[in-house]
Structure 1
Amino acid sequence: MSTIESNLKNQPIVLISVLSQPVTTPPPSVLISTASSLTPNTSSPAIFHDDKPIEKYYKKNKQILFEFDQIVKDIRFQLNEQLKCLEQRIETQLSILSEVQEYFRRRSDVEFDYAKNLDNLHKQIGQRHRAQKARRETWIFQSIYKLWDTIVQDTRTHVKYHTIMSDICGKYMYDKFNEIAEDTRRMFMKCKSVGLASHEDIYKVLNELKSTMKTYHQYQSESKQAEQKLSNILQQIAKIKSAKKQKTMEKRVEKRQMKYTETKVKAFKARNDYLMTIESVNAALQKYCSDDVPDLIDCMNFGFHTSIAKCIQMYLSAQENIKRGRQITIETLNRAIADLDTIVDKQKYLEYYSSIFTIPKRIKFEPHKGDEVSTVNAQVLIRDEMQSRFIQMQNRLASLKTENDEIFKTIEATEQSLMENITTKNSDVSDLFKDLNLPQNNSKNARKEIEDYYVEKFKQYTLSSNLISRLQARHDIMQKALGATPPAGAAEDNNLISRPIKPKQIGRAPILGRPRLFGGKLLDYIQVTQQYIPLIISSCVSAINRIGLHNQGIFRVPGAQVDINQFKDAFEKGEDPLVNITGREMNSVAGVLKLYFRELKEPLFARDMFDSFISCISKLNSIINLNYSTKLT
């Protein structure tokens, strides 16, 4: 039995009876007086009764406590399930990685047996995959699964192999995959400790909420008892006609009224603390599910896809040196590597397990019987204290945000160092065809040191962000209660479109290889090629301006699909097929330009700017209508 439950059971019988009685009549009005004499006055309104009494069913303390414990139990269960799911996710990744590793090991064994044995290997892997299809249903949510599938499907085309390829697959790559698996498991255990620390932080604020809830209901009960006692003594005075006896009762009335005032102030403070703690807990849960879980997944997977990509790129280098006819295979694998995207993997995984990773329902305020105020109020008796707390919280928030930004900058610098440590491992094995010396890796200890520092800073950043989120929730609700104005810098210029602040991202990976022109990201392509206006846009627009503006149905009449595909392939290779274009092919030129914009992974007009564009257009229409109305008048 918990301490709160035992305390509630030890409450006086009077308190239990008061809690169980429904509100049918308003309590007597009391006027607090500071004078030495007190005259009964039942017609004046009480300063504490800021809400009209209504008939309503109120939950008992035990019921409220039971429901809260059930909520905490559900949250605790969900948090534990999240860690289990994340562990399952890592095991899935390692299972896929193990399959890729097994593939290369077995390929080394069958390299000398040539095409027949290699075809048998392809069939065996396909059969095992089909046999374990039920166990691998979540593989499709990993971008490395597409890479593995591409490698397996490409096995039929592997008909010429050398001893060097056997050495690469059987020695270096096998050891490299073992290293990746070891690094991934080690990183998961460290990040799991961060997740457990975040869970402990959430459990701490939930316990704080439980304590404030108990205090709130206790003080509300005491306030009701004091109010009842004051009402009884006032009724007694009203019945006494003797002035001498009334004077004798005045001290008792004054004492009861002081007690009533004291308990009411405590009740106000307890209610405000209860409401602020609820907001703090909800903010903590929101922050954890919205930001911490994705960041935790990013931290667990940091360098995982990059390491695999580098290992596979080494395999591609060997393929290029064996035969140029493998170019089609190389391009296919390059596309699979380019599709390695930890953000997409994370989003698919969270969507698949949406019931587990969803944000818990917001905890609602459970009012005490007779208390209908569900917001934080700055009562006269506690306004100065709240103002002081608000200023202190503002200063602390500013300090914490500055410190948090510095921690994130340190994380970004550490990520860069860790990524440099990963990318410095040479994936080009051309030298193996000359001296057959495998590259040595002596940076393992250095990576572990950087890794430990990175995870520690990530832990500091996560816990600091959680604290800021909770304090910000308290700050906002206190600011609303006090009627304080936001800082001057928060005002927005209505004449400008405010770009949303880009969220901080943990574990941002570099761009691998040359990004695709069609079906890729425009910013990634510009960053790698340094073409601030891609060739396809400048060439197509120039051709249309020169000879296509008078073509009937330009951008409406479809072009020849064969010509569009030829233009697409040429632009993808970096060539300009529109140098000697004729007017008859203008519809195909417009078609390939439309196809390019249509296949962009992210639209030209960013989704995060959609609301700003709509708001700008609405304001512009309002200004035009206003000007038009002014001219009419």
Structure 2
Amino acid sequence: MDGVSGKDQNVLSPVNCWNLLLNQVKRESRDHTTLSDIYLNNIIPRFVQVSEDSGRLFKKSKEVGLQLQEDLMKVLNELYTVMKTYHMYNADSISAQSKLKEAEKQEEKQIGKSVKQEDKQTPRSPDSTSNVKFEEKHVRRSSVKKIEKMKEKRQAKYTENRLKAIKARNEYLLALEATNASVFKYYIHDLSDLIDQCCDLGYHASLNRALRTFLSAELNLEQSKHEGLDAIENAVENLDANSDKQRLMEMYNNVFCPPMKFEFQPHMGDMKMKEYLEGRNLITKLQAKHDLLQKTLGESQRTDCALASGRRSSTVRKQDSSQAIPLVVESCIRFISRHGLQHEGIFRVSGSQVEVNDIKNAFERGEDPLAGDQNDHDMDSIAGVLKLYFRGLEHPLFPKDIFHDLIACVKRQKITEETASEMACAFLLLINAFPDLDLCSVEKQDPLSPEGTLPPELIYAAHFFLRALCLTLSLC
């Protein structure tokens, strides 16, 4: 682990992210392969076995259920048969009873008629009276016997039907009780026992084990994926360009280490380099003295100017000194030096006025539209922005009274060793003709004017650079 951690420390953060991403893809591939094996060799066979067992269990339980239903239907059919028999016998009994009552009514009517006739008869001769009575009695007896005989038959029929109805009713009650018991047993005991038997065969246990295996595999896959994603997230948060640059330079120290300085090798009494080095040392000493004097004088002059101009000018001075070169100048020059040195017609061809206004407005808002390495702007438009800025200065960089002299020096075609010294002296005289700078007067300028954006450090640096250039030309 120590060797791996040491190796990871020497890897750049983008390379570490790519390695972790590749490892995550490989891990997911391995996890999916393992998951496929688990599905193929474990989970799917278990579900197939559960399905087959469920099919066999369904067939068996269906047979048992059909058998129980057939038994119940037999009981119900018997109940229906007994009920129909009871209804039939009960209807016959009611019909016989009604016929018996009708016969009894006829008997009562016949008896009533005979009594009335005996009361209405008149006395006659004895012979005739005896003959009539005998005949009437004979008729009455025959009709009464018929009625009594019919009554007896109907009484016997009613008694027989009544017994059959009572017997059928008893059988119906017994069958009804047995049917209710069978239905209760079917729905309360038989179906419950059948379901219990199906559950006792292990269907739920087998399904539980198969699903547990599925959940375990999926959870392990998700946990592995989350671990890889957490590692990638940590690597993304550790992306740092500065640390990568430092690590790269430490890893390839021999490549990025600056070589030894080249020493001047004089040839045949060449003293120009020696004079240049001595002059450069003199310039360095003078620059140090100049900086010390500027610092000393600047503090006293800033104090006086602060008392004269108040709090507003001191605030403006702090804001101006925070940036040595205006943002528009620095950004435009940087962009032109990177992308426009080989551009044909630079500073001579005017660019798009719309793009010039857009870039100018962006700089006025404090933004830098030319930041980064993008090269999607028109070079002539950027040069136009820079020209527009310098053109808007109240006091030009090169004073008007020496402008023509500078142009005359630049127009010289050939520069020889004899004329180089003369040109240097001419440049030095022209530069010395520049007006002297006063820090206090510069700080009193209006910060809203174009020249107010140039801090004193830039103006002094320009003067010093031009004097150093002239001294260099004089030594060449």
The normalised TM-score by structure 1 is 0.24
Higher relative contact order (CA 8 A, sep 6+): 2
Larger Rg: 2
